[in-house]
Amino acid sequence: MSRFLAFALPVSSVDDARECIALYANEYHDARHVCWAYMIGADRLTFLSSDNGEPSGTAGKPILGQINSLGLTNVVVIVVRYFGGIKLGTSGLIVAYREAARMALDDAGVVEGREMTTLSVTFPYLAMNDVMRVVKGAHPRDCVRITGQEFDNTCTITLSLPLDVLEELASRLDSISGTSLNY
């Protein structure tokens, strides 16, 4: 009987995914197949899968299908197969790889992330209290952080914030006299 080992790992780039795949392929070099799929980016447009010698569409595609069905991104799923002497057939392979991927993803759990951006705000020193009131008044779940600051007659702060918060916060900051925003 074949043995399947499945791993779901967070990645932030194609290079990260390829590095993970190479590590697992090296670690399980004695396995018959090391099949995988990844999905990268908030837009979910960067993806790739590999059957690694299994019949076309029987491994990588079902793994990628599980990533898609859960709506995930920034993940690589690797399924290692040790051949057990019994041929599973096309449908058997698809089911086995799909289930292995699903179990790995279920065990890994999901961490929700938000796409981040930066915003620089330049303002006169006299507007400091108004600007800081808006920045500090952002709801804690909005995750607005000051990542840089320069204070003089003209002040500049750089903010890191979720993209979905940008429009509202920028509008509130732009309404303060003398401010200019740089996206």
At residue 113 the predicted structure's pLDDT band, cuts being 50, 70 and 90, is confident
Distance between CA atoms of 144 and 169, rounded to whole angstroms?
9
For the CA atoms of the chain, what is the radius of gyration? 24
pLDDT tens-digit map of 51-71? 999 999 999 999 999 999 999
pLDDT tens-digit map of 15-29? 999 999 999 999 999
- Read off the amino acid at residue 56: S
- Which 3 state secondary structure label does DSSP give 102? helix
Residue 125, pLDDT > 80, answer yes
Q: Specify the long-range contacts of residues 90-97, CB closer than 8 Å, at least 24 apart.
A: 90/55, 90/58, 93/54, 93/55, 93/58, 93/59, 94/57, 94/58, 94/61, 94/62, 95/62, 96/2, 96/4, 97/4, 97/35, 97/54, 97/58, 97/59, 97/62, 97/63
Q: What domains are there in the chain, each with its CATH number?
A: 3-108 (3.30.230.30), 116-182 (3.30.70.240)
Residue 2, pLDDT > 90, answer no
Q: Residue 126 has which token pair?
A: 């006299």
Residue 114, pLDDT > 90, answer no
Distance between CA atoms of 1 and 82, rounded to whole angstroms?
9
Q: What's the pLDDT at 86?
A: 76
pTM for this structure? Answer: 0.72
Q: What's the pLDDT at 135?
A: 92
Q: Are 103 and 6 in contact (CB under 8 A)?
A: yes
- Which 3 state secondary structure label does DSSP give 117? strand
Distance between CA atoms of 177 and 153, rounded to whole angstroms?
15
Query: Once rounded to an integer, what is the mean pLDDT over residues 141-158?
Result: 91
- Read off the amino acid at residue 182: N
Instruction: Report percent pLDDT > 70 for the chain.
Output: 99
Query: Once rounded to an integer, what is the mean pLDDT over residues 35-55?
Result: 95
Distance between CA atoms of 180 and 182, rounded to whole angstroms?
7
Residue 153, pLDDT > 80, answer yes
Query: Once rounded to an integer, what is the mean pLDDT over residues 159-178?
Result: 93
Q: What's the pLDDT at 130?
A: 95
Residue 84, pLDDT > 80, answer no
At residue 178 the predicted structure's pLDDT band, cuts being 50, 70 and 90, is very high
- Which 3 state secondary structure label does DSSP give 28? coil
